[in-house]
Structure 1
Amino acid sequence: MKLLLIPDKFKGSLTSEGFTKAFISGVEKSGVSFTSHFIKASDGGDGFMNAVASYKPCIAMQVISENPLGKLIQSYYLYNQKTKSAYIELANTSGMELLNPEERNPMLTSTYGTGLQIKDAIEKGVEHIYLGLGGSATNDGGIGIAQALGYVFLNEEGEELSSIGSSLQLIHSIDDSAVSDNVKRANFYAVNDVTNPLFGENGASYVYARQKGATDVIIEDLDKGLRNLDAVVSKKYNLNNGELPGAGAAGGAAFGLKSFFDAEMLSGIDFILELSGVHKLLAREKFDYIITGEGRIDEQTLNGKLLQGILNLGKRYHLPVIAICGTLEISKEALLERGIFDVFEIQDESKDLDYNMKHAALLLATKTADYFNVK
């Protein structure tokens, strides 16, 4: 049996490499004869730069930036000198994991720190900016990034606004006179696998803001703010990007990248798989299964994220996909209908979440051994 392993991390418990080690241990315990090949993947969210660094020769560029609440932090991005490309992970400066739970409030957070990274890269001569979106603590529509690169957002009285979520409803006009020619010449790419539009019941605020600390009232206000931002952008630039699939990624940062920098929208998993050379691998070698996994599989997992990209790969090469998760919060039937060959969860339902996360490697190895023993 030949297995192609393309797992995501189990957030808080297993890296993709940790998953692979535990999975292989489990298959070995089952007694099944097998070989395997590991692909480090990302959908553009957390781990994007690690995945890129696995396949591209890059230099880590250190830069003083800001976290989502404006606190100075040491951050970095990747720089490929040959192609004059920068690879930036939004979560590195604007990520939810940078804040304590009690600090999270998307009315007060900003992507400004990510914009400072982009500014540094452009000042160093970078011409291509690849932004991995995901894991953000923000819902600012990308105005933080835009502000760092010269855009000014004004209220009805002509006063400059802070680039935070609570400012969105107050934006009346945009001044782009300070945007440099170097910024205008740079090529931007928004790398993610979220398909949500900017606003509405399936938009950035209603789907993702609660996990960033928003209440029902805040979610409603943020959605109104994103609608206002879209209206102001539409009036000034004659653009209609609000309902563009993926515009809602990273709290609408994808919308801002598209609207202010004409960013090309790229599928995160497709982008990484292309870098990995997996298509050449599958053209010359025969595999029996693709194995993937992530900590939780739910409705959002089917919303254009990594798992969907793996399913597309499986369909293209006629390979069955087996998914492994910590917890399964959607019916197995729904996943089978979407093309998954099989799925199983590793949690011990008799134990609490803390136990399951701490013992994820052992649980994964044990459940994997049981699964392949049956096979």
Structure 2
Amino acid sequence: MRFLIIPDKFKGSLTSEEVYHAIKKGAEQVYENAYFHFVKASDGGDGFLEAIRTYRNCSEITMQTLDPLGRKITSKYLYDVQNTSAYIELANSSGMELLNSSERNPFLTSTYGTGQQIRDAITKGAKEIYVGLGGSATNDGGIGIAHAMGFEFMDRKDSPLKPIGKNLKQIHDISKSKTFLNVSKVQIFAINDVKNPLSGKDGAAFVYGPQKGADADMVEELDEGLKNLAAVLKDKSNIYYAELPGSGAAGGVGFGLKSFLNAEYLSGIDFILEISGVRDKLENQSFDYLITGEGKIDAQTLSGKLIQGVMGLAKEYNIPVLAVCGKLDVNLNELTEQGVQDVIEIRDIDKSLEFNMRNAKILLEEKMKQYFKKLL
């Protein structure tokens, strides 16, 4: 039996490597001579740098930046000197995991720290910069990044505005300061796998704002702010990317990177699958199963997340797909219609969430063993 394993992490419980080892250990108890090939993947969110490090010979650059609330932290990014390419994980400076639950407030957070990393990479000679989006604590439309690059945002009284979510509605004009850094000779790539537009009911604020700490009134105001930012850019620069799928990624950072830095959108999972060389392997080897998964499979899974990209790969090479998850929160038919042969939910429904997360490795291993035993 031959297995190709491309899982996402089980957030807060297992890394993708731990998911892989649990799947492998469970399957080996049924198939002694099984072959396993693991692809460390990321859709551009948490774990993006670790996935890149697996396939690229990069140096780690550490530097002082600001966290989402403007506090000094030490952050990192990767730099490939030979190819003058930098890889930045937005969550490293602007991520939700940098804040405790009481601090999460997209009115007050900013992506300025990520902009500091982009600026640093450019000054070090980077000609291509890949920014992995995901896990952000922000809903600033990318104005924090833009401010770090030298853009200024003013209100109707021509007073400068702090680049945070609650000020989006106040933006009346945009200019370039003395610190503006020209990026015309640098190609920026926004790596993400969400398809949300910038604003509206499917946009950044409404879909992702609540999980970042926004209440209903805040969501409405943030959405209006994002619409205002798009309108000002259209009026001042004739730039309008608000409806482009992916512009709502990371609280509108996709939109900001494209509008201010002329970024190109790339699918995170397609990008990782390309540099991993997995397609070359599939051209020369066959597999009985492709196993993927994440902690919770829900509606967002089918909106461009890692699993959907993996399902596309399996369909391309006609490999049966098994999906594993801690909790299945979408109709199984929606997955089988897209090519998933079966979903293996590992949680013990009689136990607490804390128990299931703490014991995810054992539960996953046991469920894999049970599943494959039934196939004999």
1:173-188 equivalences in 2 (<5 Å): 173-178=173-178, 180=180, 182-188=182-188
Q: Any gaps of 5 or more consecutive residues in structure 2?
A: none
Is the CA contact 1:151–1:178 (under 8 Å) kept in the aligned structure 2?
no
In structure 2, what is the equivalent of residue 191 of structure 1?
A: 191
- Report deviation, 1:239: 1.7
Distance of 1:45 and 1:89 partners within structure 2: 7
In structure 2, what is the equivalent of residue 200 of structure 1?
A: 200
Please tell me the residue identity of whatever aligns with 2:57.
P
In structure 2, what is the equivalent of residue 279 of structure 1?
A: 279
Q: Describe the superposition over 1:204-253 as per-residue Cα deviations: whole angstroms up to 9, x where unpaired.
A: 00000100000000000000000000000111121220000000000000
- Report deviation, 1:185: 2.2
Deviates more, 1:300-309 or 1:25-34: 25-34
In structure 1, what is the equivalent of residue 305 of structure 2?
A: 305
Distance of 1:122 and 1:103 partners within structure 2: 31
- Report deviation, 1:5: 0.4
Give TM-score scaled by structure 2 length.
0.98
SS class of match (2:184): helix
Please tell me the residue identity of whatever aligns with 1:156.
R
Distance of 2:46 and 2:255 partners within structure 1: 19
SS class of match (2:86): strand
SS class of match (2:340): coil
Distance of 1:312 and 1:220 partners within structure 2: 35
- Report deviation, 1:183: 2.6
In structure 1, what is the equivalent of residue 214 of structure 2?
A: 214
1:5-84 equivalences in 2 (<5 Å): 5-31=5-31, 33-84=33-84
Distance of 1:165 and 1:45 partners within structure 2: 21
Q: Any gaps of 5 or more consecutive residues in structure 1?
A: none
Is the CA contact 2:138–2:212 (under 8 Å) kept in the aligned structure 1?
yes
Distance of 1:237 and 1:218 partners within structure 2: 28
Distance of 1:128 and 1:182 partners within structure 2: 14
Distance of 1:180 and 1:126 partners within structure 2: 17
- Report deviation, 1:157: 0.5
Please tell me the residue identity of whatever aligns with 2:238.
N
SS class of match (1:37): strand
- Report deviation, 1:161: 0.4
In structure 2, what is the equivalent of residue 106 of structure 1?
A: 106
Is the CA contact 2:149–2:181 (under 8 Å) kept in the aligned structure 1?
no
Is structure 2 residue 151 aligned with structure 1 residue 154? Answer: no
Distance of 1:273 and 1:343 partners within structure 2: 22
Aligned residues: 375
- Report deviation, 1:32: 6.0
1:347-362 equivalences in 2 (<5 Å): 347-362=347-362
Is the CA contact 2:94–2:110 (under 8 Å) kept in the aligned structure 1?
yes
Distance of 2:140 and 2:18 partners within structure 1: 34
In structure 2, what is the equivalent of residue 135 of structure 1?
A: 135
1:221-260 equivalences in 2 (<5 Å): 221-260=221-260
Distance of 2:54 and 2:305 partners within structure 1: 20
Is the CA contact 1:89–1:131 (under 8 Å) kept in the aligned structure 2?
yes
Is the CA contact 1:6–1:40 (under 8 Å) kept in the aligned structure 2?
yes
RMSD between aligned alpha carbons? 1.0
Give TM-score scaled by structure 1 length.
0.98
- Report deviation, 1:3: 0.5
Distance of 2:233 and 2:177 partners within structure 1: 15
